[in-house]
Amino acid sequence: MGSLGLLGTLRLGLFQGCLGCLAVIFSGLLNRVMISELAFPGLLVGGALAFEQFVAPSRVLFGQISDARPWAGRHRLPYIWLGTLLFCSFAVASIPLIFRVGWLLEAGTPTAIGLGIAALCGLFALYGLSISLATTPYLALVIDRTSEAERPRAVGIIWCMLTVGIVIGALAIAISLRGLDGVTDPAVLEPALLAFMAKVAAIVLALTALATIGMEQPRSQALQASETPRDDAITLAQAWTLITSSRQVLVFFSFLICFTLGLFLQDPILESYGAQVFGMPIAATASLNAFWGVGTLLGLLIAGLWLVPRLGKLAAARLGCQLIVFTLVLLLLCGFTAKVQLLNCVLLLFGLAAGIGTNSALVLMLDLTLPQAAGTFVGVWGLAQALSRALGKVFGGGLLDLGGVLQRLLPLGEGPLPPFALVLLVEIGIAALALVLLARLNVHQFKDDTRQSLSRVMALELG
């Protein structure tokens, strides 16, 4: 495959933008509708939405299948298209199911309520499976289409498109559904939300086709036979043997978990932090993620276009982790001032650090991925990130509750800050641990170990 170029990278990034748009709708719009308008229990909403992350281990399987089983000579595009068709369908189907479960919670029997909740959790799990089916081959396609030299810029642009998609999704919700402010009648809400979701799904399908058509050319059987063997003969169990056979792989796997937790542990409590500690109204707290998002966008661009090419992947990732630790400390300290302007500035800096760290870690991740097993490795890296995002949602809220209990039992002072301080202190420790793990990573040893491991696994299969 040839070089993507700027226009090709922007076109391929349209798919990532679509994912950002859908993420806002699922994590923001549907969450709010279920809790506020339909009076779902918060635990039910959080648990159901978490099923999207709980199926993250499927990324390993889908990556391995993408490597091993091409359709019509293509290893990536058929899986991206199938996954996109499925998650768009499940997104549309979620609307009537949510309202059906809402009706059951009001008037259904216990058995019917249990079945409805199981169906809702199952649908979100299927949605997560479809996202994994599409995104794992998509990241492998990025590896296939970029050289090591152009990968930092490509990753920066593609992840910027994700942030742009989040912003566009938020604007689309605000503009398209502004007539529903204050409406709680399901008979009005359901058709409006269903029409909105159907339009979004149609646009996502169209943009995915535009983003990916022609990005992977079919290879003839003769050409595939002459290529360096992929891990086509490797079973899923052997793929896991490949991953666990190297201490360096486990070090990087652990780094990704700590790095992601260090970025998102505060995510479920950030708006509450602004409301309770800084006295911000609802509209103002909603803007906190905007400051973080703008900073992240700048950080992605700075890292992809300037830092990583000059410092190198490992050094840039180290700098990103150091900046994340520093800005988390600032986020904690600004709570003692309760100044909203300072909080906004710190979140902008935190986003900048997050963007630099994310770009550097992603480029390093792709660089450490063997081309012969790209889908398998990308699946494992995606598993680490998805599971840590899910853990961040659970632990962030849990630590806040624990902080409240400790404040009542111990002399930690009055006011709302101590529980939030506990969350941020733990997050600072986790981010610092990511920095320690990164220092133990040896890129050359990683590549040598995994290459030897792949050879051994292939030899065992042939033997």
Q: What is the pLDDT of residues 268-304, one digit of tens each?
A: 777 778 878 888 765 466 567 678 878 888 898 888 8
Report the alpha-carbon distance of residue 261 to residue 42 in Å, rounded.
22
pLDDT of residue 17: 92
Report the alpha-carbon distance of residue 398 to residue 6 in Å, rounded.
43
pLDDT of residue 153: 77
Report the alpha-carbon distance of residue 459 to residue 461 in Å, rounded.
5
| Radius of gyration from C-alpha coordinates of the chain | 23
Contact 27, 175 (CB under 8 A): no
Report the alpha-carbon distance of residue 38 to residue 186 in Å, rounded.
8
Among residues 274, 236, 250, which one has the least CA distance to residue 61? 236
Residues of the chain with pLDDT under 70: 1-3, 27-29, 31-32, 35-36, 42-43, 174, 181-182, 219-245, 281-287, 289, 370-376, 378-379, 383, 453-463
Among residues 448, 390, 456, 310, which one has the least CA distance to residue 50? 390
pLDDT of residue 240: 63
- Helix spans in 334-462 (H): 340-367, 374-409, 417-439, 443-462
pLDDT of residue 334: 95
Domain boundaries for CATH 1.20.1250.20 within the chain: 1-215, 230-457
pLDDT of residue 14: 94
pLDDT of residue 386: 73
Q: Quick one: DSSP state of residue 335?
A: G
Domain 230-457: CATH superfamily is MFS general substrate transporter like domains (1.20.1250.20)
pLDDT of residue 241: 67
Distance of CA 209 to the CA centre of its chain: 22
CATH code at 1-215: 1.20.1250.20
Among residues 282, 353, 349, which one has the least CA distance to residue 316? 353
